[in-house]
């Protein structure tokens, strides 16, 4: 069932929507999910949709994008649509376990996949029924709804999403690819919730691929919770390829235990308004985290990356690098906070944000932060904002390379440092190609995309 809501006063209208449709929101949803709704809504009522008056959202006022007539899917009808047949994931030499979500719902068209023994990939709803001991232990335990209104809003409204469970000692031979498809004949609001649990001595790589397949306005609030147990290895690559009418708030919240190694890479290749929240808590000794991001924007697009790395225990390491290339009148923001708590001795933390502005009208705000309460640490941070190097341009032009090609070469060299952090070789090659196409002014999110007016009638996703 689809419910259309005309949002004027944000808090009042969303509160009314929640109360009016609570029965539908709770219908068929897990008990743990429903048990958190009222508390989450109370927090949201108090905080509301963040504007730039909220310090953590200083550079992105979300309120205008959550206004208007938006269609909210309160049942899985959209997930039954045949839209998944329009996607063909044909990255050379890349084999994945492929799962589709449509408008936030786990698609019933997902094929039965033979996973290694004990590995579970399913909808949130199915997981709660079949694996209650894992689901109830971890759902809602990592994402901080008390401090972030968007997490609270997601917790109040989310009905479905993807569940991934990797038991002790299992190393998956290929990545799990979650293809998030937004589709519809009207402007749409969607909430999605993912839960990923990686047990001791296990390894898994996850790809989150975000796509729009119809030209309507989409507003998306997604939250992913990750629990990385002792000695686990977890990689997640969030590839955002959406049209200009898309507003996405994407939250990735990771909780680490002893000797775990995690990597997150947010790759915003095309979108309208994007806010990426990444929070990593190292809650045991000898954790290692790698947090990367690349954002490419032109026209009037806006990308805001907000990260929080919490060194809660000693002997942990974090490495953070974000790079942005902004053209035309695009705007961007980076806020990165590294917290070293008083007992987190022997911490090693590195943070860097670099931005390349291609026009005088492009703008970026960068706010790296270190907050240190321990005295035996090695920490550094820095930020740069600049334009293409004139000397490098002259060097290339003097060797017969055209101005256009010289610009592309320099932009690609700038971006490559983040691309090379990808630990899936075929995906790395595909991202290289997509980034080069982006720099050449080819606006298609993927090959043969009808949304972008390219030839063909399919969308080839990552």
The whole-number pLDDT of residue 68 equals 84
What global pTM score does this model have? 0.92
CB count, 10 Å around CB of 17?
20
The pLDDT tens digits for 397-433 are 998 999 899 999 999 999 999 999 999 999 999 999 9
What does the buried/exposed string (b/e) look like for 19-57 if buried means 16 or more CB atoms within 10 Å of the residue's CB?
eebeeebeeebbebbeebbeebbebbbebbbbeeebebb
The dihedral sign for the CA sequence 267, 307, 212, 23: positive
Both tokens of 11, joined, read 């808090």
Domain assignment present for 449: no
**Domain count for the chain:** 1
- Which parts of the chain have pLDDT scores under 70? 1-8, 78-92, 442-462
Domain assignment present for 459: no
Instruction: Give the residue among 410, 411, 432 at the shortest CA–CA distance from 421.
Output: 432
The whole-number pLDDT of residue 73 equals 81
Domain that holds residue 254: 2-437
Domain assignment present for 442: no
Domain assignment present for 450: no
Domain assignment present for 199: yes
Domain assignment present for 460: no
Task: Give CA–CA dist 108/429, Å, rounded.
Answer: 31
The pLDDT tens digits for 307-342 are 999 999 999 999 999 999 999 999 999 999 999 999
Domain assignment present for 294: yes
The whole-number pLDDT of residue 458 equals 38
Domain assignment present for 462: no
């Amino acid at each position: 069932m689809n419910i259309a809501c005309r949002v004027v006063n944000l808090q009042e209208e969303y509160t009314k929507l929640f109360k009016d449709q609570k029965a539908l929101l709770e219908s068929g949803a897990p008990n743990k999910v429903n048990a958190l709704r009222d508390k989450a809504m109370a927090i949201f009522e108090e905080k509301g949709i963040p504007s730039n008056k909220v310090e953590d959202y200083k550079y992105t006022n979300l309120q205008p994008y959550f206004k208007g007539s938006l269609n909210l899917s309160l049942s899985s009808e959209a997930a039954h649509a045949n839209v998944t047949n329009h996607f063909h994931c044909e990255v050379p030499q890349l084999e994945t376990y492929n799962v589709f979500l449509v408008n936030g719902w786990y698609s019933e068209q997902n094929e039965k996949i033979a996973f290694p023994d004990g590995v579970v990939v399913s909808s949130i709803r199915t997981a709660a029924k079949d694996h209650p001991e894992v689901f109830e232990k971890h759902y809602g335990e990592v994402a901080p709804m008390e401090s972030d209104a968007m997490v609270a809003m997601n917790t109040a409204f989310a009905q479905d999403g993807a569940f991934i469970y990797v038991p002790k000692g299992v190393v998956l031979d290929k990545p799990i690819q979650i293809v998030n498809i937004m589709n519809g004949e009207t402007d749409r609001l969607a909430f999605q919730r993912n839960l990923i649990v990686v047990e001791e001595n296990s390894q898994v790589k996850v790809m989150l691929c975000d796509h729009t397949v119809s030209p309507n306005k989409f507003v998306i609030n997604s939250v992913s919770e990750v629990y990385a147990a002792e000695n686990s290895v977890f990689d997640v690559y969030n590839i955002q390829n959406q049209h200009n009418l898309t507003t996405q708030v994407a939250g990735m919240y990771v909780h680490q235990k002893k000797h775990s190694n995690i990597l997150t890479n947010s790759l915003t290749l095309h979108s309208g308004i994007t806010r990426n929240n990444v929070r990593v808590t190292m809650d045991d000794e000898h954790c290692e985290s790698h947090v990367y991001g690349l954002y490419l924007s032109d026209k009037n697009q806006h990308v805001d990356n907000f990260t929080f790395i919490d060194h809660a225990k000693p002997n942990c390491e974090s490495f953070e690098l974000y790079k942005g290339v902004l053209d035309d009148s695009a705007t961007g923001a980076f806020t990165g906070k590294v917290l070293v708590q008083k007992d987190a001795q022997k911490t090693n933390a590195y943070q860097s944000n670099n931005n390349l502005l291609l026009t005088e009208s492009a703008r970026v705000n960068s706010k790296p932060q270190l907050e240190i309460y321990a005295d035996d640490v090695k920490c550094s941070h820095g930020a740069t904002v600049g334009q293409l190097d004139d000397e490098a341009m002259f060097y290339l032009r003097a060797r017969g390379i055209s101005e256009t090609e010289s610009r592309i070469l320099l932009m690609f060299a700038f971006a490559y440092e983040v691309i090379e952090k990808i630990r899936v070789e075929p995906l790395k090659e595909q991202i290289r190609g997509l980034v080069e196409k982006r720099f050449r002014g080819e606006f298609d999110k993927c090959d043969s995309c009808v949304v972008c007016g390219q030839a063909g009638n399919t969308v080839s996703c990552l």
